[in-house]
Amino acid sequence: MTQEPPPEVHTSVNSRRVENAIHPVDVEAPPLPRPAKVPAMDREIKQLKKWFPWLTISFVVANVVMFVIIMYVNNCPKNSGSCVAGFFGRLSFQPFKENPLLGPSASTLEKMGALDVRKVVHRHQGWRLITCIWLHAGVFHLLANMLSLVIIGILLEQEFGFVLIGSLYLIAGFGGSLLSALFIRSDISVGASGALFGLLGAMLSELITNWTSYVNKVAALVTLVIIIVINLAVGILPHVDNFAHIGGFLSGFLLGFVLLIRPQFGWVSQRYAPPGFPIKPKFKIYQCILWIISLILLIVGFTVGLVMLLRGVDANDHCSWCHYLSCVPISKWHCDKQ
């Protein structure tokens, strides 16, 4: 009688190793203890989450609505002989020879809150330094600024939230209006360009102050600088208020060091650090130095600028070449604002 071989026992194994033993799948190993949650880690994860950019979207909607209101108040058919896109009725545009940007008349913009230095100084209408940010000279002007706001604003608001970016936008816009009022004395000025250049300036300073948090540092810096230089260069064209661009950029650049500073990589609050964990300072020394210097320059700059403006000082009297920053006359065009 032949003895049958014992039946083969087939087992499969998983790849988890505990105490140098391989356990078959059909044998349940005791579960490994789950690591306890660290509050600092939870906070780090929350900081990495993206904010929904509702404020940027709201700013775009507000600018568009404001432009429609301006065109309604302008009422071209009533005040002009011929209008562009007359089928819009009351919302039709001024003639091209008066406004090539497809927009309202200068008098309507002035009535709705455009920056007019004479009214700011002599009639104490300082609110025009803010209201002019929400006005645009035409459809082309509005589209260019809103496209820039969507691209830059959404990116920054997703990273830093609506409080910081909203404050930065408004303060930088005010800074652009202030510098414009000191140099542009005979014309009105409108547009969100100063605030937008403030966002660009803040992106640059944020990259500098949070340098250790970036991987492709040099590439990001070079790209951003090229974009800023190109946009500022466009400002030397006639009828473009480059002083608002420069003032907004400088304000945003300094504000970026103050508002958009991040803790250095690997920082953990001492409150949540386990015993024996090496504690790093929250901010690097250079970040603190830039924060202090920028805050001082902002306070001094805004204070001096406001005092000069309210006293009726013409900054061109103290800088004979500064007008070239806003317009450089060449054979193709001239800089006569009229």
Chain length of the chain: 338
Does the annotation mark 107 as catalytic? no
Does the annotation mark 193 as catalytic? yes
Contact 16, 23 (CB under 8 A): yes
Rounded Cα distance, 286 and 309, in Å:
34
Contact 323, 316 (CB under 8 A): yes
Contact 241, 326 (CB under 8 A): yes
Q: Is 312 left (phi over 0), alpha (psi -120 to 50) or beta?
A: left
Q: 105, 189, 205, 245: which is the annotated catalytic residue?
A: 245
Q: 193, 205, 251, 326: which is the annotated catalytic residue?
A: 193
Active site residues: 193, 245
